[in-house]
Amino acid sequence: MNIEQMIDMKELKALKLELTRFMMAYKFALDEMNTKINILKDEFNYIHDYNPIEHVKSRIKSPESIFKKVYRKGYNFSLASIKENVRDIAGIRITCSFKSDIYELSNMIAGQKDVRVVDYKDYIKNPKPNGYQSLHLILEIPIFMSDREELTYVEVQIRTIAMDFWASLEHKIYYKYNKEVPNQMVAELKEAAVMAEELDSKMERLHKEISEIKQAEHEKEEEMSLMNGSFNLPFIEYLLQKK
């Protein structure tokens, strides 16, 4: 008996197609979210005159990590169960300049008509015992395929540069010590998280002071130019500069 007789080729092809379409939905979900984030970034940049988003990184969880999670959590191995239970297959990490940007951005995302927030974890107001800080959202967004609409989960993590710096170092240390980090290092990491929080607060205070001065200057300039009869459209100028 040859291999083709042993395996039902038709079934195998159908499975391959099903798996490809399963993973494709997550890729499209990331494309859609990245477009939303870029639009918000441009609009925010214009309104507040600074860039609230320092960095955006997206990833699709590898099949190996998906299966590890399914096994670890004891979920059923069917595609329907994976889709419902593993809600971080599509993941986006947004690094913001300031803490207030995190909440403003998350409200803007959550307020969109086609976005449903299914889970919200605020590890900034309530940091994890190890010091981890970040805002986690699980969103459900519709993806329009050729023959159907697919509701897809996307995990969005939003944090400041300082929180991100801390989290990536902590992640490296955690794996370096194979999840058994020495007590002294745990304490130092906690201390570093507190320092990161202090830095974020201080930077935000300074930023607010500068913004207020800039805003007052801007209002004065605008009044002067209106009095002189000039009527320019700064957003159009801003778009032209971007080209």
Enzyme catalytic residues: 155
- Closest contact distance (angstroms) between CB of 121 and ligand 0O2 is 5
- The DSSP string of the chain is --HHHHTTHHHHHHHHHHHHHHHHHHHHHHHHHHHHHHHHHHHHHHHHSS-SEEEEEEEE--HHHHHHHHHHHT---SHHHHHHH-TTSEEEEEEESSHHHHHHHHHHHHTSTT-EEEEEEETTTS--TT----EEEEEEEEEE-SS-EEEEEEEEEEEEHHHHHHHHHHHHHHHHTTT---HHHHHHHHHHHHHHHHHHHHHHHHHHHHHHHHHHHHHHHHHHHHHTT----HHHHHHHHH-
Instruction: List interacting residues with ligand 0O2 (CB under 6 A).
Output: 88, 91, 121, 128, 130, 132, 136, 167, 170-171
Nearer to ligand 0O2, 44 or 196 (CB): 196
**Residue whose beta carbon is closest to ligand 0O2:** 132
- Closest contact distance (angstroms) between CB of 84 and ligand 0O2 is 13
- Closest contact distance (angstroms) between CB of 22 and ligand 0O2 is 18
